[in-house]
Amino acid sequence: MFGKKAQPPIKSLIAQGTRIEGNVKFTEGLRVDGEVYGDIQTAAEDAGSLLVISEASVVQGAVVADHVIINGTVRGPVHARELLELQPKARIEGDVSYVALEMHQGATISGQLKPLVAAAPGEEEKPLLKLAKTA
């Protein structure tokens, strides 16, 4: 369905036991094992960004990236410009917007789900599925 492309390398780490109070901006890949009290985002022009929020981590603020993988707690809105993966221990308290969503059993969302339409430049939008008429 979605073409698998190489994920960017994770070049930055917020380690377990680390607490950041303030906004975080990153490029390419970021893994959060600690706590962040502020927004985490990548620049809109940084295509292919990857954000991993691990099981022990807590983020209180908005999260924005292309590919977002969550297995910890996020208190705030989540915006995945491409793919949002929710692992079994993911807890989100806020609205979620995404192009594609993969949600494992056990993950919870307390907020609205808002699917986004993504059409790459020069790419036609896929036709909607239509039910065949039965005789």
**pLDDT for 127 beyond 50:** no
Residue 90 has which token pair? Answer: 């993911």
What pLDDT, on a 0 to 100 scale, did the predictor assign at position 130? Answer: 47
- Provide DSSP, 12-44: EEE-TT-EEES-EEESSEEEE-SEEES-EEE-T
What pLDDT, on a 0 to 100 scale, did the predictor assign at position 5? Answer: 59
61 vs 5, higher pLDDT: 61
**pLDDT for 125 beyond 90:** no
Residue 39 has which token pair? Answer: 């927004």
8 pLDDT band, cuts 50/70/90, is confident
What pLDDT, on a 0 to 100 scale, did the predictor assign at position 111? Answer: 95
Q: Are 41 and 57 in contact (CB under 8 A)?
A: no
What pLDDT, on a 0 to 100 scale, did the predictor assign at position 1? Answer: 45
56 pLDDT band, cuts 50/70/90, is very high
Model confidence over 95-113: pLDDT tens digits? 999 999 999 999 999 999 9
Model confidence over 35-46: pLDDT tens digits? 999 999 997 676
* Helix, strand or coil, per DSSP, at residue 52: strand
What pLDDT, on a 0 to 100 scale, did the predictor assign at position 98? Answer: 95
Quote the CA–CA distance of 29 and 50 in Å, as a whole number. Answer: 5
Q: What is the CA radius of gyration of the chain?
A: 16
